[in-house]
Amino acid sequence: MDFSWSDAEIELRRKLRTYVEENLRPGWRSIDRDVHNDDTIEASLQFCRGLAERGLLTPAWPVEYGGKAASRWAQIVISEELRGAGEPRGPQYTNVNWIGPAIMKLGTEEQKAEFLPPIAAGEAMWCQGFSEPDAGSDLSALRTFAERDGDEYIVNGQKIWTSYAAAADYCFLLVRTARSDNPRDGISILLVPMDTAGIEVREIATLDIDHMLHEVFFHNVRVPVRFRLGEENQGWSIIRTLLANERTQSSLHEEVNRSLNDLVNEARQLGIAIDEPQSSASLGKAASWVAASRVLNYVAIQALSDGSEHYPNLASVYKASSVQMAGKANEAFLAILGAQSLATSSAGDYRMISSIETGIGGGSTEMQLNAIAWQVLKLPKK
């Protein structure tokens, strides 16, 4: 595998860094990507509109949907640069990397015409209605039900841990449309406007981050059947690919890599030696995990580009490695800065909080390891 970048990809990275330097809101932090107030929502929208105007938001999309038909690696370059800058797209990275492509692949012409242009223009925010109180790690246990009533579904149920729900225009919603002995059967996907009557959003308090996660309740919510994505009851295979895309295209390795650089700079400013054995060893381990995780990410992305059936499993490998990477970065902050790394709203504090989320969001570490054990290593489920 060739890990070098093409001239076009190098130029794209340069353009992105220039745009970030000129347009990133002063003081923007990684924590702000959760668009927790009106100011950060507007900053995210403005940033994405500018990217779209310059052809830097969806270059890997087909031309007919607002892209440039660039390689999938162009989108990875964008993910790395913007995740490293604190993900100023806010929730729009979900639209671009997996929700939009899912609509392209499975959507009707009417759905494509309605939902894709606002994404390509940087105008739309989406959330994902996946996890439920009794269907987190085991997503197939979801119970939010959509009952067919003529040309509409009537949706009742609850989602939890939903990022961006308070700011979202639409929800990519998983519902059960039939009951079956196999819980993976009978699941469908609905594209739901968040201003639909009967949707209630409640904030879930989290560690030092306001408006990050939410509960979303559906009370007799009527959704037109024309907003169903793909065939009824056939949503599970779509979900598996969608989750794989979420895991591989977050580019967490770039965020952690830059945080380690910030750690070194902060230590130097404070006069803390980083070349003493414990500190240098801790920093070296974290940097090694970043390098390894980056390579595993690229291997998974190449499998996606090749259309390999192994892609979802390789995505689990990357996701599991990213948890280890985040943990080693925590250890480096503690080893070098000590108690200062836990100061409220410091880089180390955010790193600690973020690493907790890394082991849960997008599929828990235990579930990723199970997938690797069963699907890759072919170990018995016992």
Structural domains of the chain sorted by starting position, each given as residue range(s) with its CATH number in brackets:
7-124 (1.10.540.10), 128-233 (2.40.110.10), 251-376 (1.20.140.10)
pLDDT digits (tens, 9 = 90+) for 285-339: 999 999 999 999 999 999 988 888 888 888 888 988 998 999 999 999 989 988 8
Query: If you average pLDDT over each of 78-92, 131-145, 305-319, which comes out highest?
Result: 78-92
* Band (171; pLDDT cuts 50, 70, 90): very high
* Band (213; pLDDT cuts 50, 70, 90): confident
The answer to whether 327 and 352 have CB atoms below 8 angstroms apart is no
Q: Is the pLDDT of residue 239 over 70?
A: yes
Residue 227, classed as helix, strand or coil, is helix
Residue 334 phi, psi dihedral angles, 5° rounding? -65, -40
Q: What is the mean pLDDT of residues 57-69?
A: 94
> CA distances (Å), 49 to each of 88, 119, 213, 274, 330, in order?
12, 10, 25, 41, 34
Q: What pLDDT score was predicted for residue 250?
A: 83
Query: Lowest-confidence range among 211-225, 258-272, 310-324, 343-357?
Result: 343-357
What kind and span of H or E run contains 173?
A: strand 170-176
Residues paired with 30 in a beta bridge: none
Q: What is the mean pLDDT of residues 345-351?
A: 75
In terms of phi and psi (left: phi > 0; alpha: psi -120 to 50; beta: otherwise), the region of 249 is alpha
For the beta carbon of residue 352, count every other beta carbon within 10 angstroms.
Answer: 20
* Band (207; pLDDT cuts 50, 70, 90): low
Residue 126 phi, psi dihedral angles, 5° rounding? -125, 155
**What residue type is assigned to position 211 of the chain?**
H
Cα 93 to Cα 88: distance, rounded to the nearest angstrom: 9
Q: Is the pLDDT of residue 122 over 90?
A: yes
Q: What pLDDT score was predicted for residue 243?
A: 76
Structure-block tokens of residue 342: 């836990």
pLDDT digits (tens, 9 = 90+) for 14-41: 999 999 999 999 988 887 888 878 899 9
Half-sphere exposure of 335 (CA within 13 A, CB side): 22
Cα 95 to Cα 117: distance, rounded to the nearest angstrom: 11
Q: Is the pLDDT of residue 208 over 70?
A: no
More confident residue, 282 or 136: 282
Cα 282 to Cα 332: distance, rounded to the nearest angstrom: 5
* Band (209; pLDDT cuts 50, 70, 90): low
Mean pLDDT computed over every residue of the chain: 90
Q: What is the mean pLDDT of residues 96-100?
A: 92
Could you identify the residue written with the tokens 């500190």?
279
Q: Dihedral sign for Cα 116, 118, 123, 127, please.
A: negative
Helix axes 277-306, 72-84, angle to 10 degrees: 150
Cα 86 to Cα 33: distance, rounded to the nearest angstrom: 7
Q: What is the mean pLDDT of residues 94-103?
A: 92
Structure-block tokens of residue 237: 């295979």
pLDDT digits (tens, 9 = 90+) for 366-382: 888 888 888 888 898 87
**What residue type is assigned to position 148 of the chain?**
R
